[in-house]
Amino acid sequence: MSEQVTRTFAIIKPDAVRAGNAGNIIQRINDHGFKIVAMKLIHMSRPVAEGFYAVHRERPFFGELVEFMTSGPSVVLGLEKANAQPAWRDLMGPTDATKAPKGTIRGDFGTSMGENATHGSDSPENALIELSYFFNATEFVA
C-alpha cells in the first residue's frame, strides 16, 4: 500500500463527549501521528444527522441512530496521515464496541453498536464527501 498522505473524516460522538472522553480521544489521535486539519464542536440538528446518515435511511436502526447523534454535542474532525482513512478505522476498532478489543478507541470508550464513541469514513471517496458535508474549504488549516 502506498504511503500517500490523505485525509479522513472523524466524529467523536455524543456518548464520548457526554462521558468526558473527547480529550482522551484527541490525545490518541495525536499519539498515533494524525494531524488534525479541521475540528469543531457541534450539536447536530435532525436534518443534518439524517442527511449525513442518508445511506442508512432504510435500516431498522436509522431512527435510533439519528436520535443518538442529535442527543448532545459531538466533535467533528478532519484528520491527515499516510493512508488516513484505513489508519483511523484501525485505531477505532470494529463498529460494535462490545466486540472491539481493549486498546482500540471503541473498545475503551464505546459501550454498544449504537453508542460506539467515534465514527470514521468507510472509504477514501466517502472521506472527501463527509469532510465537505461538515467543513468549508476555509475551515481547514494548511
Residues that bind ligand CMP (CB under 6 A): 61, 64-65, 95, 113-114, 116, 119
Q: Which of 32, 43, 56, 119 is catalytic?
A: 119
Strand partners, 107: none
Rounded to a whole number of angstroms, the minimum distance from the CB of residue 114 to ligand CMP is 4
| All three cell numbers of 129 | 464527501
Task: Please say which residue, 59 or 141, places its beta carbon nearer to ligand CMP.
Answer: 59
Q: Cα(127)–Cα(85) distance, rounded to whole angstroms?
A: 7
The residue type found at 10 is A
**Catalytic annotation on 119?**
yes
CB within 8 Å of 70: residues ≥ 6 apart: 43, 44, 45, 46, 49
Residue in 105, 137, 118 with CA at minimum distance from that of residue 11: 118
Residue 23 Cβ vs ligand CMP, minimum distance, rounded to whole Å: 20
Smallest distance from ligand CMP to CB 106, Å? 9
Query: Which residue number, 54 or 141, has a Cβ lying nearer to ligand CMP?
Result: 54
Q: Which one, 61 or 133, has the nearer CB to ligand CMP? A: 61
Cβ(105)–Cβ(92) under 8 Å? yes
Task: Give catalytic residues, as residue numbers.
Answer: 119
